[in-house]
């Protein structure tokens, strides 16, 4: 076989291999729209985050909360809900005298609404757009 024919065959095999690899990817995950309201002590939570932590799956999604409202897409399934809102505090020196140069982000929402939350919701295949979470600061 001549060199040009061999080169054409090699290039053809590489092209076919690339097409096969591109076609073998997994389809994107199915997602469902979620939307809702987070209140803090009866008023819309000014700013924060709501974490949809997957139960029985590694799926988790954090959505921003602004003026109490959140919206986004998550995979259908069960989720533990965690709510966070932060304030920036000026650092103080620790016992060794070390003092961070940047302000520290401190969560202002009690643990029963985040790290110790027992709130579990189900996101159906078609999504849900009327979630309501009434968070208290005490």
For the residues 86-97, what does the mean pLDDT come to? 88
Among 104, 114, 112, residue whose Cα is nearest residue 62 = 114
Q: What is the pLDDT of residues 93-135, one digit of tens each?
A: 888 988 878 888 999 999 999 999 999 999 999 999 999 999 9
Please say if the pLDDT value at position 19 is more than 80: no
Contact present, 95 and 117 (Cβ < 8 Å): no
Please say if the pLDDT value at position 1 is more than 60: no
Residue 16: pLDDT band with limits 50, 70, 90: low
Taking the CB of residue 119, how many other CB atoms lie within 10 A of it? 14
pLDDT score, position 102:
85
| CATH class name, domain 32-135 | mainly beta
What are the CA-CA distances from residue 130 to residues 3, 66, 69, 71 (Å)? 67, 16, 10, 10
For 28-32, 82-86, 109-113, which range has the lowest pLDDT when averaged over its residues? 28-32
């Amino acid at each position: 076989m001549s060199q040009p024919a061999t080169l054409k065959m090699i290039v053809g095999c590489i092209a076919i291999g690339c097409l096969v690899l591109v076609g073998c990817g997994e389809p994107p995950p199915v997602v469902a729209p979620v939307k809702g309201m987070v209140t803090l002590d009866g008023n819309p939570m000014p700013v924060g985050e709501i974490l949809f932590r997957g139960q029985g799956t590694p799926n988790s999604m954090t959505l921003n909360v602004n003026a109490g409202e959140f919206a986004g897409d998550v995979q259908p399934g069960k989720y533990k809900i965690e709510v966070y809102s932060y304030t920036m505090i000026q650092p103080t020196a620790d016992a060794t005298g070390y003092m961070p140069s940047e302000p520290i982000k401190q969560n202002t929402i009690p643990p029963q609404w985040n790290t110790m939350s027992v709130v579990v919701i189900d996101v159906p295949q078609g999504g849900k757009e009327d979630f309501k979470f009434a968070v208290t600061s005490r």
